[in-house]
């Protein structure tokens, strides 16, 4: 077939040399020659094609057969398609039947999937129930650790199964089987917890009448099977009820062991270790019994060594030297132990005198060593919040000052409640005798700071001011924190006068009487003394400490306001020429210049006015026109 592949060039069939010129015409002989040669070439091509067909007959026959079959298939498909189209066109509900059939198939598949899931849930529920039953059997057989692990794992499994089944922990509409499983698990957990608590309680027995704590290593459990104490504690830890299981033991240990050991100094602590291989015999006995010899705590070393011995017994025989058990027991008891130590020892050891604070250093050292040993034993954590004893002893100055403050206020209250004033009436003759201090007790006569005269005052005012002077003197010799407490004590003691005396003598103060005059003199005396305290204490007190103690500005204005109010009320009741004259003169200019009168004296500093009067001495203030001329 190569002869068919190429093209025929006419110029090759002619012999004329000038065929390349397209304008040259062909002659008749050339045309005949061309026709003959083309005929010969076509004959040659026909022969070649026939020869090729004969040589490839089988191939050509197969190709023709395949084309015939393809044509037949296409005709059959066209016929089937035509029949289907005709069927659809002739029966319109057929497509609806197809869609319905498809929906049925889909719903059947979904139902099958749901049944498979339900079957899986049923299998899971059955397996969980079997595990719960096995856990209960393990509890009764004494395999508490395995039972505890099963209970812990079943809790997670129940949560996952309930979530897969559509339940949400007791929600409405959930399958009842989930509630049944939860109830079964809760009953199993309660049964395990009760068995473990009973084992622990039976392992540690208290005999308070004999002062003994008996710890057994192994005892009979359910159905006579022995359960060791450490096994029960490990099972509690697995199900996270260690705090609950040890709570009762911790309470009894505090009540029957720690309280006697801390509150009673004449107590002896001893540990007796018995045969540890015996099953039914106790392992160890802790004895806390009274002693005839009373031990003084002094620096606390005797108390702390006694407590260390008790805690070592707890760590070794109850907690079995397990770090988590020891830490749990310490967490349950340390807060109460520290409070007992503070109440019965540290608070009582706080010195009553500032000079003895240096002796408290030994207690501080022993206390810090005690807490360090407890940290090494993992009984308390390294958190600073656990260092309650160290924090208390480091603040001993504050505790000392707080105690002194309470004592000072108690003394001040007793002085004021037993208010004592001179029963002799104040007359001109009496005033002259007061000035010469003849025939009168010094307890009822006082010198005014800003006036060279004397006046009657109550014995309570003298004692109160003496107490305030002593308190501020101690404040000047103390540190800043202690001085602050002393200052507050002195301030509150003075405020107690204003709080107690007017209430106690309310009826007498509403009239012009001997008591009202004495109270007025007390307020006058106290007001001047308070003002003097600012200058007196400033010389002795550290400048930085004094800056925070505004004694005069904090107390004296209140005293001045009460004094002015009561005295003006007395003037209004008294009337008379002298009272009216003094009140009138005192009132002159007071409204104009903001001046308030008390005993005909002017002094700057009252809170309600720019200038107020006390004691007849001019410190700052009003002009000569505003000064009253009368004196009381």
DSSP string, 191-205: HHHHHHHHHHHHHEE
C-alpha 307/C-alpha 337 separation (Å) is 10
Q: What is the mean pLDDT of residues 341-361?
A: 82
Q: Residue 121 has what pLDDT?
A: 78
Among the candidates 132, 156, 184, a domain finishes at 184
C-alpha 165/C-alpha 108 separation (Å) is 21
Percent of all residues in the chain with a pLDDT value above 70, rounded to a whole number: 69
Considering the domain architecture, whether residues 485 and 618 belong to the same structural domain is answered as: no
C-alpha 305/C-alpha 558 separation (Å) is 54
Residue 607 lies in a domain: yes
> Which tokens sit at 299?
């620096």
Q: What is the mean pLDDT of residues 213-217?
A: 85
pTM score of the predicted model: 0.60
> Which tokens sit at 465?
């001011």
Among the candidates 367, 391, 415, a domain finishes at 391
Considering the domain architecture, whether residues 350 and 439 belong to the same structural domain is answered as: no
Q: Residue 413 has what pLDDT?
A: 92
Domains identified in the chain, total number:
4
Residue 308 lies in a domain: yes
C-alpha 13/C-alpha 33 separation (Å) is 8
Residue 17 lies in a domain: no
Q: Residue 618 has what pLDDT?
A: 29
Among the candidates 184, 210, 232, a domain finishes at 184
Cα 611 → chain centroid: 52
Domain span at residue 627 reads: 575-632
- Is the pLDDT confidence value at 92 over 60? no
- Is the pLDDT confidence value at 322 over 70? yes
> Which tokens sit at 420?
């004592």
- Asked if 349 and 297 touch (Cβ cutoff 8 Å), the reply is yes
- Is the pLDDT confidence value at 401 over 70? yes
Q: Residue 584 has what pLDDT?
A: 31
Strands laid side by side in the 204-207 sheet: 204-207, 212-215, 284-290, 267-273
Q: What is the CATH number of the domain that holds 433?
A: 1.10.357
Residue 3 lies in a domain: no
Q: Residue 351 has what pLDDT?
A: 81
Considering the domain architecture, whether residues 315 and 384 belong to the same structural domain is answered as: yes
Considering the domain architecture, whether residues 377 and 283 belong to the same structural domain is answered as: yes
C-alpha 289/C-alpha 261 separation (Å) is 9
Considering the domain architecture, whether residues 278 and 333 belong to the same structural domain is answered as: yes
By mean pLDDT, which of 33-37, 221-225, 275-279, 467-471 is the weakest?
221-225
- Is the pLDDT confidence value at 569 over 70? no
Burial 343-371 (b: 16+ CB within 10 A, else e): ebbbeebbbeebeebeebeebbebbeebb
Considering the domain architecture, whether residues 170 and 300 belong to the same structural domain is answered as: no
Considering the domain architecture, whether residues 305 and 451 belong to the same structural domain is answered as: no
Q: Which residue has the higher pLDDT, 477 or 546?
A: 477
Q: Which residues pair with 598 in a beta bridge?
A: 601
Q: What is the mean pLDDT of residues 427-454?
A: 59
Binned at pLDDT 50, 70 and 90, residue 294 comes out as: low
Considering the domain architecture, whether residues 210 and 170 belong to the same structural domain is answered as: no
pLDDT tens-digit series, residues 62-71: 888 899 889 8
Residue 595 lies in a domain: yes
Q: Residue 340 has what pLDDT?
A: 94
Considering the domain architecture, whether residues 267 and 365 belong to the same structural domain is answered as: yes
Considering the domain architecture, whether residues 361 and 383 belong to the same structural domain is answered as: yes
- Asked if 521 and 455 touch (Cβ cutoff 8 Å), the reply is yes
Residue 592 lies in a domain: yes
pLDDT tens-digit series, residues 180-207: 888 889 899 999 999 999 889 888 999 9
Going by C-alpha positions, the residue among 166, 279, 273 that lies closest to residue 220 is 279
Residue 28 lies in a domain: no
Considering the domain architecture, whether residues 147 and 204 belong to the same structural domain is answered as: no
pLDDT tens-digit series, residues 471-514: 888 888 777 878 888 888 888 988 998 888 888 887 777 776 77
Residue 438 lies in a domain: yes
Considering the domain architecture, whether residues 230 and 156 belong to the same structural domain is answered as: no
């Amino acid at each position: 077939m190569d002869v068919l592949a190429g093209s025929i060039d006419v110029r090759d069939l002619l012999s004329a040399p000038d065929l390349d010129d397209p304008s040259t015409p062909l002659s008749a002989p050339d045309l005949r020659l061309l026709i003959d040669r083309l005929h010969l070439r076509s004959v040659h091509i026909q022969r070649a094609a026939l020869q090729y067909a004969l040589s490839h007959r089988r191939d050509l026959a197969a190709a023709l057969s395949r084309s015939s079959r393809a044509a037949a298939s296409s005709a059959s498909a066209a016929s089937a398609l035509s029949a289907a189209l005709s069927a659809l066109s002739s029966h319109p509900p057929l497509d609806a039947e197809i869609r319905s059939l498809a929906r049925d198939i889909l719903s059947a598949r979904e139902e099958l999937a749901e049944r498979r899931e339900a079957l899986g849930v049923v299998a899971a529920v059955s397996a969980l129930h079997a595990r719960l039953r096995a856990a209960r059997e393990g509890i009764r057989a004494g395999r508490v650790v395995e039972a505890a692990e099963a209970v812990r794992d079943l809790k997670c499994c129940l949560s996952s199964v309930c979530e897969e089944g559509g339940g949400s922990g007791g929600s409405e509409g959930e399958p009842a089987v989930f509630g049944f499983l939860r109830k079964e698990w809760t009953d199993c957990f309660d049964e395990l917890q009760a068995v473990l608590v009973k084992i622990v309680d039976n392992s540690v027995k208290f005999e308070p009448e004999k002062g003994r704590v008996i710890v057994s290593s192994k005892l009979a459990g359910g159905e006579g099977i022995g359960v060791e104490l450490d096994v029960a504690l490990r099972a509690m830890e697995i199900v996270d009820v260690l705090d609950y299981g040890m709570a009762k033991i911790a309470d009894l240990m505090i009540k029957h062991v720690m309280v006697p050991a801390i509150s009673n100094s004449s107590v002896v602590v001893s540990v007796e270790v018995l045969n540890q291989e015996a099953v039914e015999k106790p392992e160890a006995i802790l004895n806390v019994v009274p002693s005839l010899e009373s031990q003084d705590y002094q620096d606390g070393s005797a108390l702390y060594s006694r407590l260390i011995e008790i805690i070592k017994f707890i760590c070794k025989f109850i907690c079995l030297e397990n770090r988590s058990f020891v830490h749990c027991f310490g967490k349950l008891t340390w807060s109460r132990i520290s409070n007992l130590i503070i109440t019965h020892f540290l608070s009582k050891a706080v010195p009553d005198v500032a000079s003895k604070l240096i002796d408290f250093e030994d207690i501080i050292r022993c206390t810090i060593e005690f807490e360090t040993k407890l940290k090494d034993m993992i009984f308390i954590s390294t958190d600073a919040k656990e260092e309650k004893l160290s924090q208390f002893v480091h603040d001993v100055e504050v505790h000392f000052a707080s105690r002194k403050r309470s004592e000072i206020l108690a003394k001040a209250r007793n002085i004021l409640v037993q208010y004592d004033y001179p029963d002799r009436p104040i007359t001109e003759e009496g005033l002259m005798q007061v000035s010469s201090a003849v025939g009168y007790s010094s307890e009822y006569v006082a010198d005014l700071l800003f006036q060279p005269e004397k006046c009657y005052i109550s014995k309570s005012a003298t004692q109160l001011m003496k107490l305030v002077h002593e308190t501020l003197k101690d404040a000047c010799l103390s540190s800043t924190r202690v001085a602050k407490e002393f200052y507050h004590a002195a301030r509150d003691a003075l405020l107690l006068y204003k709080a107690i005396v007017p209430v106690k003598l309310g009826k007498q103060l509403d009239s012009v009487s001997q008591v009202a005059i004495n109270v007025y003199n007390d307020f006058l005396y106290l007001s001047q003394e308070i003002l003097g305290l600012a200058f007196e204490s400033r010389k002795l007190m550290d400048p930085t400490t004094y800056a925070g103690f505004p004694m005069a500005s904090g107390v004296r204005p209140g005293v001045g306001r009460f004094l002015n109010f009561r005295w003006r009320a007395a003037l209004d009741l008294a009337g008379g020429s002298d009272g009216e004259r003094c009140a009138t003169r005192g009132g002159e200019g007071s409204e104009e210049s903001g001046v308030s009168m008390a005993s005909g004296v002017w002094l700057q500093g009252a809170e309600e006015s720019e200038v107020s009067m006390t004691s007849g001495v001019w410190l700052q203030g009003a002009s000569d026109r505003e000064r009253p001329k009368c004196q009381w």
